[in-house]
Structure 1
Amino acid sequence: MSITLASINELAMHLRTELEEKKFVLLYAYNGTGKTRLSMEFRDIGKQGDDDEATRDTLYFNAFTEDLFTWDNDLEGDCARVLKMNAVSRFFAGLEALEMETRIRPFLHRYADFDFRIEYSDWSIRFSRDVKVGEITETIDNIKVSRGEENLFIWCFFLAIAQLAMDGAEAYQWVKYIYIDDPITSLDEHNAIAVGNHLAQFMRRKDHSIKTVISSHHALFFNVLWNELREIDRKKFAPHFLSHIRKTDQYQLSYTGDTPFFHHLTLLQEIWRAKESGQIYTHHFNSLRSLLEKSSIFHGHKKFTVCIKQQDDDTDDTLYGRLVNILSHGNYSFYDPVDMLPENKAHFEKILLDFLDFYPFNPELMPATLEQETTP
């Protein structure tokens, strides 16, 4: 089922109408479709007035949110690098009294190994990292974090504010909608799974009335959210594929129905590369589960365990299903991947190879081994 909308304003209005009945709208769209413009159009519809007292109803995360943070690299002294916040933005209104550091850290420490402090006197953020030198751990202050780490910090900053809105904090009682556009532009496939899973769990809280729109061009991220959010209540969840008809400047919204937007071949190639290189980490069990889920849904089954080869001594087909269930859950570190235990590696490879024997994909789709890829 698909509909054609004449303009981006009409599209934004349609999403608001849809959210009268739904709790979540999930959009997949290629880069250049107009996702960021759509998020701003959605926000603008909810604004009343043009001055500082204007009312609003949408808390959003997009490229403009990231632009509220800029680096001062201390070009003269080259030692006190800080991330500056745009103090005139209403995004930061009232934060000084809300103990933001203690709210941001639980999110940030899921992913990163650096720390920070906010200086409200000059609206700056200073980063630090503990480094082990011999037997002593030293704290290095005023560091410049990487672009990926910076994006993660801003994302966690936003999640802390979203949590305030969901908790009903007075400063954010105006929030009726949360609109998130591509929060993972600098993250790889493994991290897309972790961020998508965490975001879905975060948004699944039932003790608030805020409605959410999430848009992304990242297929794996979309699939993770699709699988997680549909478990809440399918009647409250609307996944769509969004496309832009450039010739007419119209937009087409296609409902994805009971089948997510499949990119399990890409996921399979990623898992195969890890297996061939021997660099199998604990988070790869999450990738393997995602592959099994996508394949089972594609073939019309409700449980991913149908894609696990049944063993002669396990007639109930429970052993490997339980292993995947247990080993695909847990916290993930972006910068400190954890090696899988040898026994679990053996289980991982057996499940994968049995799956490929069960569903014979074209072997030419499998990427070269790491050794082959690096051979001149």
Structure 2
Amino acid sequence: MTTSLDVVVLADADEALASTARLAAEFHSGASEREQDRRLPAVEIEQLSQAGIYAATVPATYGGADVPPSVLAEIIRRLAYADPNIAQIPHSHFVYVHLLKVAATPEQQEFFFGELLAGKRFANAQSERGGKTITDIATTFTPDGDGFRLTGAKYYCTGTLFANWIPVLARLDDPEERSSLLAGDYVLYVPADSAGLHIADDWNALGQKLTGSGTVTLDNVAVQPDWVVPRSPAFDGPTSYGAYAQLLHAAIDVGIARAALDEAKEFVRTKSRPWFEAKVDNAVDDPLLVQRFGELTVSVATAEATLVAAGIAVDTAFAQASDDAAQAASVAVAVAKVVGERSALEVSSAIFEVSGTRSAGAELNLDRHWRNARTHTLHDPARWKYQHIGSAVLRDDAPPRHGLI
């Protein structure tokens, strides 16, 4: 282990997992209170940076631990178990680190990977409102002297309140062909303190309240050419860009499912009264309750197992970089996402079913598990996962390369 300006530079995956376990234990103890008080986890996110977790996927050739996707998924799962808000904040960070790996120039990689090793963080300014679908992007950047100017508005910008650099998805507007860039979509890595860039803390969803997923507006923001990375290389070949991003989403759901199950177990063991018809002295001896906990445990264990399998599939896809491996990874991740989402929603709802009326007390904040699961699982619809899984199985159709499978 080495440090630079008090930031740990992780040596390997084992060290990354050990650091995550230590921090997750600390984060878990205050998760409910943070949400009830709406206290943004700025301190906790800084601790993750200082521990080197944000730089965990920096390639070894640039001095990083280069942890594989399966290990990163386990890191995110452990954080989600502790506090899914904290787990979701670095999600886009790792996705945009991956974009640098597959699409940036060596010079860009050297610069930005150095920033990460120094503790800097990325976020996300990708989604927009107003278009016919989420793929319609109105944010544009135009040539301006030796650089560019960026204008637009972004929503659901998770993690921007805690970021040093904000990757912004935009389209080149250059009708006079004043730049050497080709027409298309780009990601512009913009300093969070840039003039004309405004981050609004206006995220008010029913769950995942502390993810900093507010609005980002960009008013003629100056952008240097070295900050501009083409997006198309992420989808032109078997990069597994989408499978990687979705794997991390699945890990959040699985972490929520296990946390809800464990909290339900503790409540029933220590607070619940048995139903009178069971004719037992303790709730844990109610045979119908025992049955239900068996069902919920199978649900969570299945979600955890599919997540592990998906992580291995993405590891293989990264190592082989072949169409077959990439397609297998996308299907495996789609399965994990469906199973994880289903488990998170079922168990976080069943916590009240198995615990009884007193579990609904607002002071307990047990509903946060369901609210967090319900909000996070809205990211992209599971119904389309089933479509792609079925098409792959029946017709050997390759899953689409659009970043959501």
Give the alignment's TM-score, normalised by structure 2: 0.24
Using CA pairs under 8 Å that are at least 6 residues apart, name the structure with larger relative contact order, 1 or 2: 1
Give the alignment's TM-score, normalised by structure 1: 0.25
If each structure's helix is expressed as a fraction of its own residues, which one has the higher value? 2
If each structure's strand is expressed as a fraction of its own residues, which one has the higher value? 1
